[in-house]
Chain A
């Protein structure tokens, strides 16, 4: 096992929002509010509860991991066989809330293995990666 093969990927988005954590918490946990900014869902803020986010492009299978109102919420986020964990952290500031979203994903080797198994074009991706990099100058 190389180090790179076991490395997790994390996406972090942070935002200063001019509203208190309690209000943001409602938007993060109430289905009729969630559907206004994220997706339609049957979310219930209880640990171990399974729920689904439904978009017009497909659905995301989730399970609640941790609920600590109004400061922390996490759930699994599974779409097309790829598993990750989404964690919301709300920290009060003088003028509102520091909102942070972390999404920690599968290992890189698992992701590539999955993509290869799913539609059988892993080799093509590897071939094309180079072409894309050249074309877009990345």
Chain B
């Protein structure tokens, strides 16, 4: 498992966050207030969950006056759907580091 996949799994492992993300995918972008109205948890809790989703790249936010709009970034799920290309890119980067190390070992 790569760091990216691990982060996506962790972000979506929480049922409240998963529900928020699903709502954004299904119903399109909306404000924190609108999300809170249906989430069954407080607005600070919703904001915290959205922050975690944002760090994982699963949502993006946009300020609109005093309201913050959130929308889903479904593209962020791609690594989960494509294990092969994700692992290939992981090893490619690691072998770059290996080559750097081999150069330093020479000195």
Residues of A within 8 A of B (CB): 9-13, 15, 17, 19, 23-24, 26-27, 33, 36-38, 55-58, 60, 79-80, 82, 99, 101, 103, 105, 111, 115, 118-119, 121, 124-125, 128-129, 131-132, 135-136
Given contacts A38-B94, A57-B3, contact A11 B88 (CB under 8 A): yes
B 88-107 binary contact with A (CB < 8 Å = 1; else 0):
10011011011111100110
A124 interface neighbour in B7, B22, B94, Cβ under 8 Å? B22
Residues of B within 8 A of A (CB): 1, 3, 5-7, 9, 12-13, 18, 22, 25, 74-75, 77-78, 80-81, 83-84, 87-88, 91-92, 94-95, 97-102, 105-106
Asked if A128 and B77 make an inter-chain contact with CB atoms under 8 angstroms apart, the answer reads: yes
Extra 12 A-B pairs, beta carbons < 8 Å, given A11-B88, A119-B9, A125-B81: A17-B99, A37-B97, A57-B7, A80-B1, A80-B9, A82-B1, A105-B87, A119-B13, A125-B77, A128-B25, A128-B74, A132-B78
Q: How far is the CA of A130 from the CA of B4 in the complex (A)?
A: 21
Asked if B75 and A13 make an inter-chain contact with CB atoms under 8 angstroms apart, the answer reads: no
Most buried by B among A17, A82, A121, A125: A121
Asked if A13 and B74 make an inter-chain contact with CB atoms under 8 angstroms apart, the answer reads: no
Contacts of A12 in B (CB 8 A): 88
Q: How far is the CA of A103 from the CA of B83 in the complex (A)?
A: 11
Asked if B98 and A135 make an inter-chain contact with CB atoms under 8 angstroms apart, the answer reads: no
Contacts of B98 in A (CB 8 A): 24, 27, 37-38
A132 interface neighbour in B81, B91, B94, Cβ under 8 Å? B81
Asked if B9 and A11 make an inter-chain contact with CB atoms under 8 angstroms apart, the answer reads: no
Given contacts A11-B87, A121-B12, A124-B18, contact A19 B102 (CB under 8 A): yes
Q: How far is the CA of A60 from the CA of B77 in the complex (A)?
A: 22
Q: How far is the CA of A79 from the CA of B98 in the complex (A)?
A: 22
CB distance from A23 to the nearest CB of B (A): 6
Q: How far is the CA of A23 from the CA of B92 in the complex (A)?
A: 19
